[in-house]
Amino acid sequence: MTTVQLPGRSLEGGSGGAADRLFRNGTRVAGSFLVIALIAIGVMLWLSSSQAFGTFGLGFVTGLTWDPVASIYGALPYVVGTILTSLIAVIVAAPIGVLTAIFLAELAPRRLSIPLTFMIELLAAIPSVVFGLWGVFVLGPFLGHTVEAWAVEHLGWIPIFAGPAYGIGLFTAGIILAIMIVPTIVSISREVISSVPASQREAMAALGATRWEIVTKAVLPYARSGIVGAIILGLGRALGETMAVTMVIGNGQDIPHGLFDQAQTIASKIATTFNEASVGIQTSSLIALGFILLVITIALNVVARLLVWRVAGPPGAR
């Protein structure tokens, strides 16, 4: 039973018969495993958090108190903490990351771009705990004594810059996250920028544009949605990052009011309290926190990929 072969990729027919069918089904099972795992994760997290959502309803998301003693659980301080740290991370990392991607893709000579790319990939390989350790003992105190102390002294009358400047808190967590998501933003932006057709650059060059103008007026407008996708993927990573954030964010239980307050994110709250939690409503509430995080990260992930595909094409079509 031979059928037409799709160009170069899909193999149909062939002489293997039963063995081929077995092969195809076997690999399909492996593929299904991924799909099943994904569905299972969503289902299990939902089921385990249903007790919490059942008890508190949507008030869980807006609830302000997390009190195991009184058995009242509210997610808002942790949602806010997650959003704020990730926001700081993206605000710092996006400009630096996109500029770096532009440099590596458009402006740098190969003898610079190759080692720099290599080093940025190594940055991505550093384990989260190592960042956390470095953050707790090096970056945190450093920021506390320099940036935070300066801000508290000169801008402390503005509420969000109010002290005290511990070095451990929202701001440091945001900065560490920024360092950790920059490689993501750089590599995906760079891929998107490289996929802009050369004819666009040539057209702009032939009109008498400087190299920077070629980038800003021809390349970036073309790559715009893909770069936004890259930034969103970085945001997604920041939202889910656990260990480094847990180690440098302190232990705030309320909604943080200032940049330098201690806080908790969803991930750090789960990391620190899960094992001591009593099975039942408390554990269910923690898992419910996780479920909120799951929904947000999956949604962002899908949106971001669609944006990247709009510019660079889906994988396999590149």
Partner 1 sequence: MAVIAPTIKPAIATRLLRSRSDRRRAVFDRTMRTIALLAALVCVVPLGAVILFVAINGAPALNLDLLTKAPKALGTGGGAASAILGSLQMIPLAALMAIPIGIAAAIYVAEFSGTRSARIVRFAADVLVGIPSILIGIFVFTMLVLPFHQFNAFAGSVALALLMIPVIMRTSEEILRLVPGSLREASLALGIPMWRTVLSVVLRTGLGGILTGVMLAVARAFGETAPLLFTALGSRLVNVGNFSKPMDSLPLFVYTNARAPFTVLNQQAWGAALLLLLIVLTINIAVRARSFRRNVS
Partner 2 sequence: MVTTMTESPTTPAEPPQPVPPVDGPSIRPTVPPPARALPEEGTAAAGSIEVTGLNVFYGPFQAIRDISLTIKPNAVTAIIGPSGCGKSTFLRTLNRMHELTPTARVEGSIRLDGTDIMAPDVDPVQLRRVVGMVFQRPNPFPTMSIQDNVVAGLRLTGRHSQAELDEVTERSLRRAALWDEVKDKLKANGTSLSGGQQQRLCIARALAVDPEVILMDEPASALDPVATLRIEQLMAELRQSYTIVIVTHNMQQAARVSDETAFFTMGEERAGYLVETGRTIDIFTNPKNQLTEDYVSGRFG
| Minimum distance, C-beta of residue 216 to partner 1, in the bound complex (Å) | 8
Q: Which does 251 bind (CB under 5 to 8 A by kind): partner 1, partner 2, none?
A: none
Q: Identify the residue among 203, 295, 299, 302 touching partner 2 (CB under 8 A).
A: 203
3-class SS at 261?
Answer: coil
Residue 207 binds to partner 2 (criterion: CB under 8 A): yes
Residue 213 binds to partner 2 (criterion: CB under 8 A): yes
State the Cα–Cα distance between residues 168 and 176, nearest whole angstrom. 11
Nearer to partner 1, 11 or 155 (CB): 11
| Minimum distance, C-beta of residue 122 to partner 1, in the bound complex (Å) | 6
State the Cα–Cα distance between residues 102 and 94, nearest whole angstrom. 12
| Minimum distance, C-beta of residue 281 to partner 1, in the bound complex (Å) | 15
- Asked if residue 14 lies in contact with residue 20, where contact means CB atoms within 8 angstroms, the answer is yes
| Minimum distance, C-beta of residue 39 to partner 2, in the bound complex (Å) | 39
The closest of 138, 245, 225 to 181, measured between CA atoms, is 245
State the Cα–Cα distance between residues 82 and 273, nearest whole angstrom. 16
The closest of 218, 221, 189 to 205, measured between CA atoms, is 218
Nearer to partner 2, 50 or 113 (CB): 113
| Minimum distance, C-beta of residue 203 to partner 2, in the bound complex (Å) | 5
3-class SS at 316?
Answer: coil
Residue 188 binds to partner 2 (criterion: CB under 8 A): no
Contact range with partner 2 by CB under 8 A, out of 52-60, 80-88, 164-172, 210-218: 210-218
Q: H-type helices in 103-219, by residue range?
A: 110-125, 128-134, 140-143, 149-155, 170-194, 198-206, 211-214
The closest of 287, 300, 289 to 266, measured between CA atoms, is 289
- Asked if residue 257 lies in contact with residue 196, where contact means CB atoms within 8 angstroms, the answer is no
Residue 206 binds to partner 2 (criterion: CB under 8 A): yes
| Minimum distance, C-beta of residue 5 to partner 1, in the bound complex (Å) | 7
Restricting to residues 80-109, which ones interact with partner 2 according to CB under 8 A? 109
Nearer to partner 2, 208 or 316 (CB): 208
Q: Identify the residue among 5, 210, 251, 272 touching partner 2 (CB under 8 A).
A: 210
Q: Where are the beta strands (DSSP E) in the chain?
A: 66-67, 72-73
Beta bridge mates, 120: none
Q: Which does 20 bind (CB under 5 to 8 A by kind): partner 1, partner 2, none?
A: partner 1
Residue 263 binds to partner 2 (criterion: CB under 8 A): no
Per-residue contact track with partner 2, 106 to 145, x per CB under 8 A?
Answer: ---xx-----------------------------------
Q: 200 CB contacts (<8 Å, ≥6 apart)?
A: 218, 219, 222
State the Cα–Cα distance between residues 251 and 93, nearest whole angstrom. 25
Residues contributing to the site for partner 2 (CB under 8 A): 109-110, 197, 199-210, 213, 217-218, 221-222, 224
